[in-house]
Amino acid sequence: MPESTFQMRYAITPRLLTAPSRRRSGQLISPEVKFLVAHDTGNPGSTASGNVAYYERSRDDLSASAHLFVDDREILECIPALTEPPEKAWHVLYSVPTDDQLFGCNANDAAIGVEYCYGGTIDADEAYRKYVWVLAYACHHFGLDPATKVVGHFFLDPKRKTDPCTGLARSRRTYEALLRDVVLEHAACSGAAPAPSTGNWVAAPGTAVAAVRLNVRTSPSTRASVVQIVSPGTALAFEGWVTGGEPVNGNPKWFRDPGGKFFWSGGVR
């Protein structure tokens, strides 16, 4: 599909592994990409650059691989997926049949694997925004329905894997929220629908106290820009709230401060 019809919020940087090697065979996905697999690295604090560098150093030692690594700073493509004709990567066991049952093909032969980097000094909100965006963009790029063609690794291999749930939990997010956010991001970037609603306004001035390190944003969504970060114990005045914001852990209620900025109700007491 024409890339001009999708908002390119971020750059995708190729840093391709040497081929042929055990991690990158150079075999093309054929005839087409049929779905996406959402992963996390399982290694808190490891960056996109660090993971790709490790893959390159061990390219002839191990066969496990993925196409993209995402952290708060960059989206790196180490096996061609979005910037060149897509190649196969080895990110789901061939012996596990769930992918064949759900999609009629094996993930290694027909799916793009996207790794979420988390923990350590990585800004969870920015990494999540990039992760959601690149999944949405990949759906657009390959003409996939974002509501049905994104699946977590744990769903395909539940006896061995927990990703991306483990990584998402580190930023107080859920797998279900990820799937919803990918659909919303796809719609927002393709112009198919407006951004998350700010409706269901309740005018009720008051004061809340931050229970955690809390982001104040331009709209009631974790994808919105952060304008302030407040420490636990900070008093926050509000003029009311909306109940149509982005659900975070199932809670869509966001307070609006007198300056028209928003903070999530689950982060205050």
Same domain, 129 and 217: no
Q: What is the CATH number of the domain that holds 149?
A: 3.40.80.10
Same domain, 175 and 141: yes
Mean pLDDT of 7-24: 97
In a domain, 175, yes or no: yes
| pLDDT tens profile 107-125 | 999 999 999 999 999 999 9
Angle at 195 between CA 69 and CA 183, to 5 degrees: 50
| pLDDT tens profile 57-105 | 999 999 999 999 999 999 999 999 999 999 999 999 999 999 999 999 9
Same domain, 30 and 126: yes
Pairing of strands 75-77, 12-14: parallel
Same domain, 159 and 53: yes
Strand ranges across the sheet with 214-217: 201-209, 235-242, 254-256, 262-264, 214-217, 226-230
Same domain, 65 and 122: yes
Q: Which of 171-175, 184-188, 199-203, 231-235 has the lowest mean pLDDT?
A: 199-203
Q: Which of 39-53, 132-146, 177-191 has the lowest mean pLDDT?
A: 177-191
Please tell me the pTM assigned to this model: 0.77
**Residue 246 confidence (pLDDT):** 83
**Residue 199 confidence (pLDDT):** 62
CB neighbours (10 Å) of residue 258?
A: 9
In a domain, 250, yes or no: yes
In a domain, 196, yes or no: no
Closest CA to 255 of 220, 211, 210, 214: 220
Exposed e or buried b for every residue in 67-93, given b needs 16+ CB within 10 A?
bbbbbbebbbbbbbbbeeebbbbbbbb
pLDDT at 250 over 90: no
In a domain, 102, yes or no: yes
Same domain, 114 and 83: yes
How many domains does the structure of the chain reveal? 2
Q: What is the CATH number of the domain that holds 229?
A: 2.30.30
Same domain, 97 and 164: yes
| pLDDT tens profile 159-198 | 999 999 999 998 889 998 899 889 888 988 987 754 445 5
- Of 190, 219, 243, which marks where a domain is finished? 190
Q: Which of 29-38, 58-67, 134-143, 222-231 has the lowest mean pLDDT?
A: 222-231
Residues comprising the chain, all counted: 269
User: Which residues constitute the domain of residue 252?
Assistant: 201-267
Same domain, 210 and 181: no
Same domain, 134 and 39: yes
CB 136 within 8 Å of CB 61: no
In a domain, 8, yes or no: yes
